[in-house]
């Protein structure tokens, strides 16, 4: 029997080194896969598991697979029972640039490249075993049916680390192919933030009365013109995201109105956002598509979003036609036709996931206590075409 400790020590060390790194990442996946490894001395179908931890477009993956079969009755296998006839183990780094984009933009397809170190082994018909360490590289594609479920296929080229003269018979540099189903989870929790007032699930008549008074005050305040920034002087505007959120929450419950941009006449999605930021001296264009050109582009990853960021959606998967303000903790506030007006949505709810699947970009227009938008010229202040009403499913009763 050939010793196998030396050939698997390096892959085992690499796998163990991934544990603390994986624990710090934001999105995780467990996949069940079947594969064929042409680099082994005997043909076998291997089934196994992989664990992947993603941080944006980069991921680390630990995977392993086994094949079972019967070998000839020998001194080492006198009972003729099933034995492990082949195995693989790998630690890989994965690059998937399309994870920056919403699945709605890429039709759910996310190609990726991978490379890493590992090992594989086999049992010969006479019962003897052998294993070797390998370097490997390859590529694949994941087809996401939803945020939590995806089909995945990979092709991996294995290159042996041992010199050819030391190789067990039958091992070679060749390809391995896998197909499987992946289940993704995590990545939604935010880092701890200062506590802010939220709606209580238990009805409180005094709170409802206070909210009605605040909404009436907001309507009365609309009779005064909002404080708009003067074109050409935008860089001097000082504003905090917390104050923007406080203002946005005051208008919760105001009705939806196509083309509306005030509490008394109602809001459409971009009219609401423009009005809220205008009350803090931040001048934004009129439509969602125009606003998406303002501020700084940021990742749509939950860990990168902050309160006050703007999220943009494309109802048909391509053209931006809806905008919302991010509240933190997976919540947005927006004026929505399907929801009847200004309301808070949780992106993890069935209705919220409709919007999340159509999210195409995110922008930061307020940060570090100042506006991050450039001054608008007169042409940019004019609406090109109003945002159409969204077609999300109605809120659950």
Q: What is the mean pLDDT of residues 175-193?
A: 74
- Computed over every residue of the chain, the mean pLDDT equals 80
Query: What is the C-alpha separation between 166 and 328, in angstroms, rounded?
Result: 58
Specify whether the CB–CB gap between 178 and 33 falls below 8 A. yes
Domains in the chain (CATH in brackets) are 5-185 (2.40.160.20), 205-371 (3.90.1720.10)
pLDDT of residue 9: 46
Q: What is the CA radius of gyration of the chain?
A: 28
- Report helix, strand or coil for 98: helix
Which of residues 241 and 376 earns the better pLDDT score? 241
Lowest mean pLDDT among 19-23, 186-190, 258-262: 19-23
pLDDT at 260 over 90: yes
Nearest to 321 by CA among 346, 297, 301, 338: 338
pLDDT of residue 255: 96
Lowest mean pLDDT among 51-60, 153-162, 263-272, 369-378: 369-378
pLDDT of residue 123: 87
Nearest to 241 by CA among 368, 344, 345, 373: 368
pLDDT per residue over 130-157, tens digit each? 899 999 999 999 998 887 899 999 999 9
Which single residue is written with the structure tokens 């929505």? 336
pLDDT per residue over 197-223, tens digit each? 444 444 445 545 555 555 555 555 454
List Cβ neighbours of 321 (8 Å cut-off, separation of 6 or more): 288, 289, 313, 314, 315, 387, 388, 390
Query: What is the C-alpha separation between 103 and 346, in angstroms, rounded?
Result: 19
Between vectors from CA 381 to CA 377 and to CA 386, what angle results, nearest 5°?
A: 150
Q: How confident is the model at residue 107 (pLDDT cuts 50, 70, 90)?
A: confident
pLDDT at 194 over 60: no
Q: How confident is the model at residue 25 (pLDDT cuts 50, 70, 90)?
A: very low
pLDDT per residue over 35-70, tens digit each? 999 999 887 899 999 999 988 789 999 999 999 887
| Alpha helices, DSSP H, located in the chain | 5-23, 205-221, 241-250, 269-278, 288-291, 350-357
pLDDT of residue 17: 45
Query: What is the C-alpha separation between 306 and 340, in angstroms, rounded?
Result: 26
pLDDT at 185 over 90: no
pLDDT at 76 over 90: no
pLDDT of residue 224: 45
Output the pTM of the full model.
Answer: 0.48
pLDDT of residue 167: 74
pLDDT per residue over 298-349, tens digit each? 999 988 999 999 999 999 888 999 999 999 999 999 999 999 999 999 999 9
Give me 20's structure tokens.
């603390």
């Amino acid at each position: 029997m050939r010793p196998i400790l030396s050939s698997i020590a390096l892959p085992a060390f690499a796998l163990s080194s991934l544990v603390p790194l994986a624990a710090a990442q934001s999105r995780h996946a467990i996949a069940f896969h079947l594969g064929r490894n042409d680099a082994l001395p005997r043909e076998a179908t291997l089934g196994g598991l992989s664990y992947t931890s993603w941080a944006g477009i980069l991921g680390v993956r630990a995977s392993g697979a086994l094949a079972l079969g019967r070998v000839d009755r020998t001194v080492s296998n006198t009972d003729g029972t099933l034995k492990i006839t082949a195995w693989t183990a790998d630690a890989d780094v994965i690059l998937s640039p399309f994870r920056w984009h919403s699945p709605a933009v890429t039709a759910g397809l996310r190609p990726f490249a991978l490379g890493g170190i590992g090992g594989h082994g086999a049992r010969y018909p006479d019962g003897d075993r052998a294993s070797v360490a390998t370097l490997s590289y390859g590529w694949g594609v994941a087809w996401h049916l939803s945020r939590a479920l995806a089909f995945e296929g990979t092709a991996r080229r294995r290159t042996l680390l041992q010199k050819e003269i030391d190789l067990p018979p039958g091992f070679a540099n060749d390809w391995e192919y896998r197909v499987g189903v992946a289940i993704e989870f995590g990545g939604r929790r935010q880092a701890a933030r200062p506590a802010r007032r939220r709606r209580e699930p238990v009805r409180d008549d005094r709170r409802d009365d206070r909210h009605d008074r605040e909404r009436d005050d907001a309507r009365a305040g609309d009779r005064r013109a909002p404080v708009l920034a003067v074109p050409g002087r935008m860089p001097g505007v000082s504003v905090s995201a917390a104050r923007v959120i406080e203002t946005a929450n005051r208008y919760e419950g105001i009705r939806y109105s196509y083309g509306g941009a005030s509490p008394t006449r109602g809001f459409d999605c971009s009219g609401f956002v423009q009005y809220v930021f205008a009350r803090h001296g931040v001048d934004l264009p009129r439509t969602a598509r125009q606003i998406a050109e303002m501020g700084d582009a940021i990742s749509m990853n939950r860990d990168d979003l902050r309160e006050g960021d703007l999220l943009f959606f494309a109802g048909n998967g391509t053209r931006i036609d809806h905008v919302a303000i991010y509240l933190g903790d997976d919540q947005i506030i927006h004026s929505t036709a399907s929801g009847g007006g200004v309301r808070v949505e949780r992106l993890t709810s069935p209705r919220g996931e409709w919007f999340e699947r159509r999210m195409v970009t995110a922008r930061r227009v307020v940060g570090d206590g100042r506006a991050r938008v450039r001054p608008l010229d007169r042409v940019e202040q004019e609406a090109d075409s109003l945002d159409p009403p969204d077609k999300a499913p109605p809120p659950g009763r």
